[in-house]
């Protein structure tokens, strides 16, 4: 098993985060500094910051209805006044897990947290095109031409064009418009930036589904373990 996958499956960090730990020379295998290409087996001794890591992995899976006003990181040390993180909503006794993908500070909704690096990769890898559904509310109305531009893909920065997406208007009047939007990718602040391209401001954004997994019965800020059936479903998306 590749060392970054091993660290991700232990819930130490995502694969990218594991690569950063390796680059910082904090990981050794059998007393030798690990490299991104290091493979390990069950008999190898892996250490992080001088502490031996167990090969025994107990996977945990949670679903959170993320509220606004918190960040999807393990810690928020880059700001002078650290903000609340999504880990603070986990139930007592939860193990070391990390968020799968990100919802920005002012975005609400469905967030999965786990220490299963393989599942996290499956759900976030762009080539897998896992559909994620959002409730979007914008100020004012939107024209059919603007909707078609968004559906076809727009350039949100030089050379970066969004993939085709599905958008359906579900409610509208002169003050606001509500839509369901389905994406199969997850660029930084993608939806807000998409609407900015067509001159519209998103004033509410909530992820409501990952595949067919929903937030049914889960209040804002509430968190629970995924059921075995839900875990099986996500692993087979």
Q: Contact, 211 vs 140, CB < 8 A?
A: no
For residues 98 and 120, the answer to whether their CB atoms sit within 8 Å is yes
Radius of gyration of the chain, Cα coordinates, nearest whole angstrom: 20
Is residue 104 annotated as part of the catalytic site, yes or no? Answer: yes
Please, which residues have CB within 8 angstroms of residue 9's CB and are 6 or more apart in sequence? Answer: 57, 59, 115, 116, 117, 118
Query: Please, are residues 117 and 5 in contact by the beta-carbon 8 Å criterion?
Result: yes
- The contacts of residue 139 (CB under 8 Å, 6+ apart) are 175, 176, 200, 201, 203
Do the beta carbons of residue 195 and residue 201 sit within 8 Å? yes
SS3 151: helix
Instruction: Give helix then strand counts, H and E, for the chain.
Output: 6, 15
Catalytic: which of 39, 44, 49, 104?
104
- Residue 34 · residue 3 · CB < 8 Å: yes
Which residue numbers are catalytic? 104
């Amino acid at each position: 098993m590749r060392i970054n996958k091993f660290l991700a499956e232990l819930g130490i960090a995502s694969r990218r985060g594991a690569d950063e730990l390796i680059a910082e020379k904090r990981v050794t295998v059998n007393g030798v500094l690990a490299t991104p290409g290091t493979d390990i087996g069950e008999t190898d001794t892996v250490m992080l910051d001088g502490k031996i890591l167990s090969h025994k992995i107990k996977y945990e899976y949670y679903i959170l209805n993320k509220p606004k006003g918190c960040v999807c990181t393990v810690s928020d040390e880059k700001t002078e006044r650290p903000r609340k993180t999504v880990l603070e909503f986990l139930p007592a006794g939860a193990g070391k897990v990390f968020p799968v993908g990100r919802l920005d500070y002012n975005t609400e909704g469905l967030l999965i947290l786990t220490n299963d690096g393989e599942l996290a990769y499956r759900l976030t890898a762009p080539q897998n095109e896992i559909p994620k559904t959002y409730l979007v509310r914008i100020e004012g109305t939107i024209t059919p031409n603007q909707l078609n531009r968004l559906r076809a893909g727009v350039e949100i920065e030089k050379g970066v064009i969004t993939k085709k997406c599905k958008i359906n208007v579900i409610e509208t009047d002169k003050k606001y418009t509500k839509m369901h939007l389905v994406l199969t990718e997850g660029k930084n602040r993608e939806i807000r930036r998409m609407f900015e391209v067509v001159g519209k401001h998103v004033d509410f954004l909530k992820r409501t589904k990952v595949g067919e997994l929903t937030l049914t019965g889960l209040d804002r800020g509430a968190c629970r373990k995924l059921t075995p059936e839900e875990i099986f479903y996500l692993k087979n998306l």
